[in-house]
Amino acid sequence: MRPRREALNMKLDTCIRNKIKGVIYGQAIGDALGLGTEFMSKAEVRTKYPDGLTNYDQIFQDKHRSRWKKGSWTDDTDQFLCILNSINDNGNINLLDTAKRFHDWYLNNPMGIGRTTLSVLSMPQYTLYPQKAAELVWKLKKKKVAPNGGVMRTSIVGVWNFWDQESVLINSSQICGLTHHDQRCMDSCKVVGYLVSSELNKKPVEQNRLQKFISKQDLRVQEYFAAPFTRDISALHLDNNKDMGYTLKTLSAGLWAYYHAGSFEDGIMQIIHEGGDADTNGCVVGSLLGVKYGFSSIPESWVDGLGSKEVLEKKYKKLIEVMEVSNGESNI
CB burial string 176-203: b at 16+ within 10 A, e below: bbbbbbbbbbbbbbbbbbbbbbbbbeee
Q: What is the pLDDT of residues 252-296, one digit of tens each?
A: 999 999 999 999 999 999 999 999 999 999 999 999 999 999 999
Q: What is the pLDDT of residues 193-210, one digit of tens each?
A: 999 999 999 999 999 999
Query: Which amino acid, one-letter code, is at 152?
Result: M
- DSSP letters spanning 57-92: GG----TTGGGS-TT---HHHHHHHHHHHHHHHHSS
* CA dist., res. 261 & res. 271, Å (int): 10
Q: What pLDDT score does 4 carry? A: 43
Mean residue pLDDT of the chain comes to 94
Q: What is the pLDDT of residues 89-124, one digit of tens each?
A: 999 999 999 999 999 999 999 999 999 999 999 999
For the 8-61+146-331 domain, the top CATH level (class) is mainly alpha
Over 50: is that where the pLDDT of 45 sits? yes
Over 50: is that where the pLDDT of 313 sits? yes
Confidence bin at 325 (pLDDT 50/70/90): low
Helix axes 247-260, 264-272, angle to 10 degrees: 140
Higher pLDDT, 63 or 7: 63
